[in-house]
Amino acid sequence: MMSNNPYIPMPVTITKIINEVDTNDIKTFRLTFQNKEDEQKFKYLPGQFAELSIFGKGESPIGIASSPTEPGYVEFTVQKAGVIVPGLVTAALHDLEEGAEIGMRGPLGKSWPIEFLEKKNIVVVGGGFAFTTLRSLINYMLHKDNRKRFGEITVVYGARNPGLLLYKNELAAWEKRDDIKTNITVDKGNESWKGREGFVPNVCKEVAPSPKNTVAVICGPPIMIKFTLPVFYDLKFAKENILTSLEMRMKCGIGKCGRCNVGFKYVCSDGPVFSMAELEELPRDF
C-alpha cells in the first residue's frame, strides 16, 4: 500500500528483535521498509516518533530509538503496556517474530531542536525505558560527521536495577569513549554490578554540570522528572535550556483528532518535545 494519505500506514518488515531487559517486557524492534519510496521519504531527526500499526489491534505512538545516521532501518523500543489488561498493540508486537510485517506512519512530531543544540554542551538525563529518543540523540551527536557540531556531551542514565538498563552494549561502548562522559546508575545494584548506585537526581547533583552554554535534555518517569528539575534549577539552568518530551494519549499523531490537546498545543504535532519555558505557558492538564 502506497499513499499520500497521512492516515494510511506504510508496510515495514521486522528484521531484528532484541530482548532488552531481564523482565522480558521491553524489546527493540528493527523495521525495514518494503518500498524504496517510503524509505526515501522517511526523513527524521532524534526526538520524533511514529505510529506503529497492527491491523486488528490498532496503532501506538512510539518514539524512534535509532538515529538517522544509521540508514536502511528504523528502531523502536517498546514496553509491553497495561496494568490489569494488556495493551493491545504493544502486546501484539511482543508476540511477533522476525520476518513479520507491520505498518508504520511517520515520522511524526517535532524533534529535539538540533540547530538550537549545536555548538552547546549537552547534558542528557534519562530514566527507565524513556531513554529511547535520548539514545537516538546521543548516537546522532556521536556520529563522526556530527560530533564537531556539539560541545561536551554528558549522560546521566539510570534504571531501577542493572537488568533494566537498555542498550547495554552501547552503554559499554560509550563508557570507553573520551568524547562523551557517561554516568550510568542503578537504584539498587546486585552482586555483579560494579557501577554506580543512586537515584538519577542525586547523580545529577554530583555531576553538577555548569549551566554555561549548556542544554539539559531530560526524559523519564514523572517521579524522576519531578526530582530532577529542581536540581537543574538550583544549578541555574534557564527554563529555555531544559528540554523534555511530553506524553499524552494519542490517536492520529498529526494534530487532527484532538486527543492529545493541552491548552493551545497538540502534543503530537506541536511537541512532543517542549522546553520548560514552553510548558510553563500551558495549563497543568497532562
Partner 1 sequence: MAASVLKKVVIEKINEVAAVLMQKGTLIAPVKEEAGANFREIKDPKDIYLDYYNSILSPKMVFFPQMEDFVKYQLAKPKADAKIVEMNLKPAFLFGVRPCDVKSFEILDKHFYASGIIDTYWKARRDNTTIIGYAFDLDKPVDSADFYNTLGIGAADPEGSDIFIVKKDKELLLKGITKKGEALLGELSMLEKADAKDEKYFTDYVKKGKEKKTRFMKVDDKAVAKKYEDIFENNEYWTKMSDACLSCGVCTFVCPTCYCFDICDETIFGKGTRRRIWDACMFTDFTLETSGHNPRTKVSQRLRQKVCHKYSFSVRKYDVISCVGCGRCTRSCPVNIDIYSMVEEATKL
Query: Do 105 and 51 touch, CB atoms closer than 8 A?
Result: yes
Does the bond joining 9 to the residue before it have cis omega, within 30 degrees of 0?
Answer: no
5 vs 192 by CB, closer to ligand FES: 5
The three three-digit cell numbers of residue 138, written as one number: 546521543
Question: Could you say whether residue 190 binds partner 1 (CB under 8 A)?
Answer: no
Q: Which residues pair with 129 in a beta bridge?
A: none
Question: Could you say whether residue 195 binds partner 1 (CB under 8 A)?
Answer: no
The three three-digit cell numbers of residue 179, written as one number: 568524547
Query: Do 120 and 214 touch, CB atoms closer than 8 A?
Result: yes
Write out the residues near ligand FES by the rule CB under 6 A: 250-253, 255-260, 266, 268
C-alpha separations of 148 from 118, 119, 183 in Å: 9, 8, 21
Q: Which of the residues 225 through 254 are near ligand FAD (CB under 6 A)? A: 247-251
Query: Do 275 and 239 touch, CB atoms closer than 8 A?
Result: yes
Among residues 17, 18, 81, 114, the one that binds partner 1 under rule CB under 8 A: 81
What is the distance between the alpha carbons of residues 75 and 142, in angstroms, rounded to a whole number? 17
Among residues 57, 110, 147, 181, the one that binds partner 1 under rule CB under 8 A: 57
- Identify what 263 binds: ligand FAD, partner 1, ligand FES, none; CB under 5 to 8 Å per kind: partner 1
Task: Specify the residue for cell string 549548556.
Answer: 214
Among residues 28, 53, 67, 90, the one that binds ligand FAD under rule CB under 6 A: 90
The secondary structure of residue 36, as a DSSP letter, is H
- Identify what 11 binds: ligand FAD, partner 1, ligand FES, none; CB under 5 to 8 Å per kind: partner 1
Among residues 9, 47, 61, 158, the one that binds ligand FAD under rule CB under 6 A: 61
160 vs 259 by CB, closer to partner 1: 259
What is the distance between the alpha carbons of residues 171 and 243, in angstroms, rounded to a whole number? 22
- The binding site for partner 1 (CB under 8 A) comprises 1, 3-8, 11, 55-59, 81-83, 87, 90, 99-101, 103, 247-249, 251-252, 254-259, 261, 263-265, 269, 283-286
- The binding site for ligand FAD (CB under 6 A) comprises 49, 58-63, 77-79, 81-82, 87-91, 132, 247-251, 272
